[in-house]
Structure 1
Amino acid sequence: MGRRCAHGADYGAAIMRGLIVALNFLTRLPGPRVDAGPEDFAAAIRLYPLVGLVIGALVAGAGWLGGQADPWLGALAALLVWVWSTGALHLDGLGDMADALGAAHGDPDRMLSVMRDPHMGSFGAVALILQLAAKLVLLHLLLPVGWAVLVAIPAVARIGPLVWARFLPSLRPGGLGASVAGATRVRDLIGWALVLAGACVLLPVLIAVPLVLAGLGLWFRARLGGMTGDVHGAGIELSESALLALAVLYAAL
């Protein structure tokens, strides 16, 4: 009995450590710091959806507060909190991917070289402007009717990296995309699939999540050939926008 309790305590401590690592990596939220190596960052991918749930709650809360004064102010407040809480990490990945696709002209080596370049080009700038504008408009339309789904969207979008890391090849050996691929286990996918199925009972629009994630995965494979850390970030951003749009359509129907 004592041994079982000790094992449970160790497992709980490991989960908490992984959650702290994931929060520190994916957000700019204040919190405790732990010494973490590459393996810890890779393993933290299993808890990305929990981080998304925290982000979703903050975004919905900011939208509700701002919306007390004006719907557009609510949408702007939600968007600002969304960008601030993530440190624009995934937006950076979207910009890098857009630059790579625009400048590579089908050359895989050039694509990876452009993606590694810290400077942003015109393709990336346009992609970020369109993404932020799309989120602002969609938040304005969704906030009056979709508080619960707004909390859920950042969480379910972060199931994407688990799926893509498991089923798509890494384009950069030794990079983040390669490290998370080995950390994603079948039981992690099954567990989050069951959580998603339960959430669909309360929020039927989430039934579209597997289609969105699979569609993006197929597109990444066709256009890029696989995954990098930047592509994972871009995938989260694109998933969030797609799910916001579907939630708006669902509410309208």
Structure 2
Amino acid sequence: MRRLVLAVQFLTRLPLPAVRADADDFAAAMRWFPVAGLAVGAAVALPWWALQARDPWLAAIAALLAWVAITGALHLDGLGDVADGAGAAHGGRERLSAVMADPHLGSFAVVAIVLQLLAKLVLLHALPGAQPGAQAAALTAVPVLARVAPIAWTLFLPPLHHGLASRFRSGVAPLHLALWSAVAVAAALVLALPLLVLFLAVPAWGWWLRSRIGGISGDGHGAGIEIVETVLLGALVLAG
């Protein structure tokens, strides 16, 4: 249970009691990332469902605000760092690492974060509202499935440096990925088949990280979660 609590504490801003845990517990918390995603998904889907009939734009804005609030913009920060790092990649690996570690936002980061927020807002507005209950259930699944992805990236990508991402490596195994992948397939079959695009988006982001950045880091995980969420939202919209 403490590993689940750690996962929720790490990925959300929900007020939970402190738990005593060691490094092994923290690493194994990644196994519970998709469950933490369920809290995010519920926080996003509830205002979208409640306000959809009143005004789709109001529903979209409320859902986006809830998305940012419950995550504390954690993954958006990673997206910004990766965008800045990729923009400086021509300067070599040392330059890339220095830029990604810089706490200040560069122009690439600002553009990437603004575009990401706009993309989510527009897609939330464009979600078909004819069956709001079914769409809300599929929307709830989006953050859940996106948080299966870090398990895959941890297993198959080299760590960019010794840091947050490398600490999770000892906590997950192929069995965990297989189990959560099965859950993802079941969710797509029950809720919305377009969610299966997860299995294209996850390796695509892993390939981009490996070829452009060199490996996985905490920022790579955060940016990837944001991008996979947007891809899943886009699939729901296009299929509707």
Which TM-score band applies after superposition, normalised by the shorter structure?
over 0.9
Taking the TM superposition and a 5 Å limit, the aligned residue runs for 1:58-69 are: 58-69=43-54
Q: Give the greater-gyration-radius structure (CA).
A: 1
Describe the shift of the 1:89–1:119 C-alpha distance in structure 2 as closer, same or farther (beyond 3 A).
same
Gaps of 5+ in 2: none
Counterpart check, 1:73 vs 2:58: yes
**Counterpart selection for 1:191 from 167, 179, 186:** 179
**Greater mean alpha carbon deviation, residues 66-75 or residues 46-55:** 66-75
- Using the TM superposition, give the Cα deviation of residue 78 of structure 1 relative to its aligned residue in structure 2, in angstroms: 0.2
- Using the TM superposition, give the Cα deviation of residue 143 of structure 1 relative to its aligned residue in structure 2, in angstroms: 5.6
Q: Quote the Cα distance in structure 1 between the aligned partners of 2:100 and 2:189.
A: 39
TM-score, with length taken from structure 2:
0.94
Query: Once the two structures are aligned, what percentage of the paired residues are identical?
Result: 50
Q: Quote the Cα distance in structure 2 between the aligned partners of 1:170 and 1:106.
A: 20
Q: Quote the Cα distance in structure 1 between the aligned partners of 2:21 and 2:69.
A: 23
Q: Quote the Cα distance in structure 1 between the aligned partners of 2:113 and 2:55.
A: 25
Q: Quote the Cα distance in structure 2 between the aligned partners of 1:135 and 1:221.
A: 26
The residue type paired with residue 45 of structure 1 is M
Q: Quote the Cα distance in structure 1 between the aligned partners of 2:5 and 2:67.
A: 19
- Using the TM superposition, give the Cα deviation of residue 198 of structure 1 relative to its aligned residue in structure 2, in angstroms: 1.4
- Using the TM superposition, give the Cα deviation of residue 228 of structure 1 relative to its aligned residue in structure 2, in angstroms: 0.5
- Identify the residue that residue 169 of structure 2 maps to in structure 1: 181
Q: Quote the Cα distance in structure 1 between the aligned partners of 2:23 and 2:120.
A: 32
- Identify the residue that residue 91 of structure 1 maps to in structure 2: 76
Describe the shift of the 1:86–1:143 C-alpha distance in structure 2 as closer, same or farther (beyond 3 A).
farther
Asked whether the 8 Å contact 2:194–2:239 carries over to 1, the reply is yes
Taking the TM superposition and a 5 Å limit, the aligned residue runs for 1:138-177 are: 138-142=123-127, 144=129, 145=131, 146-173=135-162, 175-177=163-165
Asked whether the 8 Å contact 1:104–1:114 carries over to 2, the reply is no
Describe the shift of the 1:240–1:20 C-alpha distance in structure 2 as closer, same or farther (beyond 3 A).
same
Q: Quote the Cα distance in structure 1 between the aligned partners of 2:168 and 2:124.
A: 31
Gaps of 5+ in 1: 1-15
**Counterpart selection for 2:2 from 17, 32, 36:** 17
Q: Quote the Cα distance in structure 1 between the aligned partners of 2:58 and 2:8.
A: 27
Asked whether the 8 Å contact 2:142–2:232 carries over to 1, the reply is yes
Asked whether the 8 Å contact 1:64–1:143 carries over to 2, the reply is no
- Identify the residue that residue 98 of structure 2 maps to in structure 1: 113
Taking the TM superposition and a 5 Å limit, the aligned residue runs for 1:46-65 are: 46-65=31-50
Counterpart check, 1:26 vs 2:15: no
**Greater mean alpha carbon deviation, residues 26-35 or residues 231-240:** 26-35
Q: Quote the Cα distance in structure 2 between the aligned partners of 1:71 and 1:158.
A: 26
Asked whether the 8 Å contact 1:45–1:184 carries over to 2, the reply is yes
TM-score, with length taken from structure 1:
0.89
Asked whether the 8 Å contact 1:21–1:44 carries over to 2, the reply is yes
Asked whether the 8 Å contact 1:25–1:41 carries over to 2, the reply is no
Report the number of matched residues. 235
SS in 1 for 2:88: helix
- Using the TM superposition, give the Cα deviation of residue 104 of structure 1 relative to its aligned residue in structure 2, in angstroms: 2.9
**Counterpart selection for 1:217 from 195, 201, 206:** 206
**Counterpart selection for 2:20 from 27, 35, 43:** 35
- Using the TM superposition, give the Cα deviation of residue 197 of structure 1 relative to its aligned residue in structure 2, in angstroms: 2.0
SS in 2 for 1:105: helix
Q: Quote the Cα distance in structure 1 between the aligned partners of 2:121 and 2:165.
A: 29
CA RMSD of aligned residues (A): 1.3
**Greater mean alpha carbon deviation, residues 98-107 or residues 18-27:** 98-107
- Identify the residue that residue 237 of structure 2 maps to in structure 1: 248
